[in-house]
Amino acid sequence: MTDHVNTSVPLWQQLQAVAQALAQVRRGVSGTAALEAVPSALRPGVQALLFQTLRQLGRAQALRAQLASRTPAPLPDALLCTALALAWDPDNAPYEPHTLVNQAVEAAKQTQSLHMPANFLNACLRRFLRERDALVKATDNNVLAQWNHPEWWVMRLQKDHPDHWQDILRASNQAAPMTWRVNTARTSREVLQADWANHGLTSFPVGAQGLLLAQAHPVRDVPGFAEGRCSVQDAAAQCAAQLLLDGLITTQQPLRILDACAAPGGKTAHLLELLDDKSQVTALDIDPQRCERIAQNLQRIGRSARIIAADAALTKTWWDGQLFDAILLDAPCTASGIVRRHPDVRWLRRERDIDKLAAIQKNLLKQLWPLVKPGGRLLYCTCSVFRAEGENQVKTFVEHNTHARLLPSLGHLRPQTRATAALLTDNLLGDHDGFYYALLEKLPAP
């Protein structure tokens, strides 16, 4: 068993908060926003239990369908599914199943709006304990229970990645590690790794500039963070700045770079770490509050950029008329490649969202491409594994823009863990999220 929670806080109280957060996610609220309402003393334990619940929610919903003839009201259903998600697999349960059931029933009794359904919840969960093996077996062939993703999501992956859809789903259902980017303008990966080791932190190299911590650690307590020597960033996301600047920073002229859709600023910071002080980076984001986060992140590494709060697609409202040497377009997407970090995403998204977001991506490409100098480049990327937001999007763009040439790019990176990395030789080495990258060069006018 693994103990994810603060044992000084009653388990029923944590399950109560998890159920309330799950009910909010089902109403369309992000997991991050739902957790912000949880008291700080409860939040770490509640987050751990909520994330495990979200990763097993498909199985829980299939089991609930076996136990109840009709779906209960939102909050009692959320508590029932929370208990089932955490208890159905004893080998991976955070507590003994009997303890989870007892505490879930106690949570119902302690919640005024759940007094009436408490007996119903108790009956369902006691039956689950008695008939667990038979109930689990009855759900084994259910797609939702098998993969803990919506059925449309599974079918979409089968279509987009016929040879690897199962690997993607398995990796997506694992907890993501804590991956860091080393600021090579201030230190080397080897020096930082040795410093961490002296503080009892074990790490492994990943990608070109990354370090993966063997065990998660409070960010502000990691040596080098406060001084801007390192930043938290997944290995796949670290590829953006490297791809965009490869071959450009050898030129003698200062570069003019745009990071569109830049918040919270991880890629902006990476660009600045790789560039000299003479080059100029403009960081753009539609959300003024998220622009403040960009400024905070840059302040920590001791660099600055021109930060603008504006819609990247409405170029007349923010562009000064000077062309860019390079543009990084990390376009809004379904975030289907980062569900191991954000397990709520799979339950928040609807299949129709793909087409809506693809239309936004198409428009951003259309509006930003004219801002690239002849001979310059645009890096299009999304944290998505769906081809409509990646390969198909870029293929259509190149077909309709004869002055755009697709340079060697990473394409679709499938999410993977260290355990599967050696088997997926066409991916990056190591552990990373799902991403898509396409580097486009603007050909000079004939």
If phi > 0 it is left, if psi is from -120 to 50 it is alpha, else beta; for residue 411 that is left
Instruction: Report the C-alpha gap between 245 and 243 in whole angstroms.
Output: 6
Render the burial of 403-418: b for 16+ CB within 10 Å, e for the rest: ebeeeebbebbbbbbe
| Per-residue buried b or exposed e for 230-242, using 16+ beta carbons within 10 Å of the residue's own CB | bbebbbbbbbbbe
Cα–Cα dist 391/411, whole Å: 7
Calpha distance 404→388 (Å, rounded)? 19
Distances (CA, A) of 74 to 80, 127, 256, 337, 342: 10, 21, 51, 28, 22
Can you tell me which residue has the tokens 């399950």?
A: 15
Nearest one of 392, 278, 391 to 325, comparing CA atoms: 278
Q: How is the beta sheet containing 280-285 ordered, strand by strand?
A: 306-309, 280-285, 256-260, 324-330, 372-382, 435-442, 404-413
Catalytic sites, residue numbers: 383
Q: How far apart are CA 270 and CA 181, in angstroms?
A: 8
Strand 372-382 and strand 324-330: pairing?
parallel
> CB–CB of 243/310 below 8 Å?
no
Spatial distance between the Cα atoms of 156 and 165, rounded to a whole number of angstroms: 9
Rounded CA-CA distance 194/192 in Å is 5
